Chain A
Amino acid sequence: MKNLVILGAGTAGTMMLNKLHKALNPAEWKLTIVDNEKEHYYQPGFLFIPFGIYSREDVIKPKKEFFPSNTNLIESEIWKVLPEFSKVHLSDGKIIDYDILIIATGSRTAPEETEGLTGGLWRNDIFDFYTLEGALALAEKFKTWQGGRLVINITEMPIKCPVAPLEFAFLADAFFEDKGIRDKVKITYVTPLAEAFTKHKCAEVLGHFLDDKGIELEAEFNTGRIDNENKKIVSWDEREIDFDLLVTVPTNKGADYIETSGLGDELNFVPVDKHTLQSSANKNIFAIGDASNIPASKAGSVAHFASEILTENILNYISNRPLSARFDGHANCFIESGHGKAFLIDFNYDVEPMPGKFPLAFIGPFSLLKESRTNHLGKLAFRWIYWNILLKGRELPMGPDMSLNGKVLDNFINNNIL
Chain B
Amino acid sequence: MSSRKQSSQEDNIMSTAVAEKILLGKTLAIDADGNLVNISDWNEEIAAELAKEEGIEILTEKHWQVINYMRKVYSETGDSPSIRKLTKESGVDTKELYALFPKGPAKKAARIAGLPKPKGCI
How many angstroms from the CA of A327 to the CA of B5 in the assembled complex? 6
What is the size, in residues, of chain A's interface with B at 8 Å between Cβ atoms? Answer: 37
Of all chain A residues, which has the CB nearest B107?
A: A194
CB of B22 within 8 A of chain A?
A: no
- CB pair A328 B122 closer than 8 Å: no
The total number of A-B Cβ pairs within 8 Å is 74
How many angstroms from the CA of A125 to the CA of B40 in the assembled complex? 51
Q: B60 to chain A: which residues have CB within 8 Å?
A: none
- CB pair A328 B5 closer than 8 Å: yes
- CB pair A296 B122 closer than 8 Å: yes
How many angstroms from the CA of A297 to the CA of B85 in the assembled complex? 20
Task: Mark each residue of chain A from 146 to 186: 1 if its CB lies under 8 Å from any CB of chain B, else 0.
Answer: 00000000001110001000000000000000000000000
Of all chain B residues, which has the CB nearest A307?
A: B3
What is the size, in residues, of chain B's interface with A at 8 Å between Cβ atoms? Answer: 26
Checking A198, A237, A275, A330 against B121 with a beta-carbon cut-off of 8 angstroms, the contacting residue is: A198
Checking B3, B95, B119, B122 against A224 with a beta-carbon cut-off of 8 angstroms, the contacting residue is: B95
CB of A306 within 8 A of chain B?
A: yes
Q: Which of B23-31, B44-52, B62-70, B98-106 has 4 or more CB atoms under 8 Å from chain A?
A: B98-106
- CB pair B120 A158 closer than 8 Å: yes
How many angstroms from the CA of A200 to the CA of B104 in the assembled complex? 17
Shortest B118–chain A CB gap in Å is 10
- CB pair A330 B3 closer than 8 Å: yes
Of all chain A residues, which has the CB nearest B32?
A: A200
CB of B43 within 8 A of chain A?
A: no
Decide yes or no: A275 and B8 within 8 Å by CB, A267-B84, A330-B1, A330-B3 being known contacts.
yes
Q: B84 to chain A: which residues have CB within 8 Å?
A: 156, 266-267
B window 34-87: CB within 8 A of A: 82-85
A window 184-202: CB within 8 A of B: 192-194, 198-200
List the interface of chain A (C-beta within 8 A of B): 156-158, 162, 192-194, 198-200, 220, 222, 224, 235-237, 265-267, 275, 295-297, 305-306, 308-309, 325-328, 330, 346, 348-351
